[in-house]
Chain A
Amino acid sequence: MNPNYLDFEQPIAELEAKIEELRYVGDDSEINIGEEITKLQEKSRSLTRSIFSKLTPWQTSKLARHPMRPYTLDYIDRIFTDFQELHGDRSFADDSAIVGGMARIDGMPVMIIGHQKGRDTKENIRRNFGMPRPEGYRKALRLMKMAERFRIPVITFIDTPGAYPGVDAEERGQSEAIARNLFVMADLKTPIICTVIGEGGSGGALAIGVGDRVMMLEYSTYSVISPEGCASILWKSAEKAEDAAEAMGITAKRLKELELIDDIVREPLGSAYRDIDTTARNIKQALVGALESTEKVGLDKLLDQRYERLMSYGNFIKEEAS
Chain B
Amino acid sequence: MSWFEKLMPSRIRTEGGTKRAIPEGLWSKCTACSAVLYRAELERNQDVCPKCNHHMRVYGRRRLDIFLDESPREEIASEYVPVDKLRFKDSKKYKDRLIQAQKNTDEKDALIAYKGKVKGVDVVAVSFDFRFMGGSMGSVVGEKFVQAANVSLAENIPLVCFSASGGARMQEALFSLMQMAKTSAVLARMARQRVPFISVLTDPTMGGVSASFAMLGDVNIAEPRALIGFAGPRVIEQTVREKLPEGFQRSEFLLEHGAVDMIVDRRDLRDRISSLLLMLMNKPAIQASQ
Interface of A with B (CB < 8 Å)?
163-167, 169-176, 178-180, 182-187, 202-203, 206-207, 209-210, 222-225, 229-230, 233-236, 243-244, 247-250, 255, 258, 260, 307, 310-311, 313-321
Contact = CB atoms under 8 A, between A and B. Distances in A.
27 contacts: A167-B236, A167-B248, A169-B231, A171-B257, A175-B229, A175-B259, A180-B216, A182-B184, A183-B187, A185-B181, A187-B188, A202-B168, A210-B185, A223-B177, A230-B170, A248-B86, A260-B175, A307-B189, A310-B182, A313-B178, A313-B181, A314-B175, A315-B139, A316-B140, A317-B82, A318-B80, A320-B79
Interface residues of B, number: 64
B174 interface: yes
Contact of A316 (B80, B229, B259): B80
B215 interface: yes
Interface stretch (B56-64, B153-161, B206-214): B206-214
Given A224-B208, A247-B90, A248-B170, A314 B229 contact: no
Closest 5 CB pairs of A and B: A314-B139, A165-B231, A186-B185, A182-B184, A234-B90
A167 B240 contact: yes
Contacts of A184: 188
A179 B178 contact: no
Contacts of B86: 247-249
B230 A203 contact: yes
B177 A170 contact: no
A27 B249 CA distance: 66
Contact of A165 (B88, B168, B182, B236): B236
A179 B181 contact: no
Most chain A CB inside 10 Å of its own CB: which residue of B79, B83, B181, B191: B181
Contact of B230 (A169, A183, A248): A169
Contact of A174 (B88, B230, B248): B230
B173 interface: yes
B138 to A, nearest CB: 8
B168 A170 contact: no
Given A313-B175, A319-B81, A203 B211 contact: yes
Contacts of A229: 235
Interface in B47-106: 79-83, 85-86, 88-91
Contact of A313 (B88, B139, B213): B139
Q: Which label, helix, strand, loop or mixed, suits the secondary structure of the B interface? A: helix
Contacts of A176: 215, 259
Most chain A CB inside 10 Å of its own CB: which residue of B86, B182, B187, B239: B182
B176 interface: yes
Given A173-B258, A183-B216, A224 B188 contact: no
A166 B239 contact: yes
Interface of B: 79-83, 85-86, 88-91, 138-140, 142-143, 146, 168, 170-182, 184-189, 191-192, 207-208, 210-216, 228-231, 235-236, 239-240, 244-245, 248-249, 253, 257-259
A170 B236 contact: yes
A115 to B, nearest CB: 16
A224 to B, nearest CB: 4
A225 B163 CA distance: 21
B185 A307 contact: yes
B254 to A, nearest CB: 8
B175 A178 contact: no
Contacts of B83: 315-317
A165 B90 contact: no
Contacts of B248: 167, 170
Given A178-B212, A313-B181, 20 more contacts: A163-B230, A163-B231, A167-B244, A173-B215, A173-B258, A175-B228, A180-B216, A185-B181, A203-B208, A203-B212, A206-B177, A210-B185, A223-B174, A229-B235, A311-B185, A313-B178, A313-B182, A314-B142, A317-B83, A320-B79
Nearest to A163: B230
A310 B240 CA distance: 35
A233 B89 CA distance: 13
B90 A186 contact: no
A201 B101 CA distance: 28
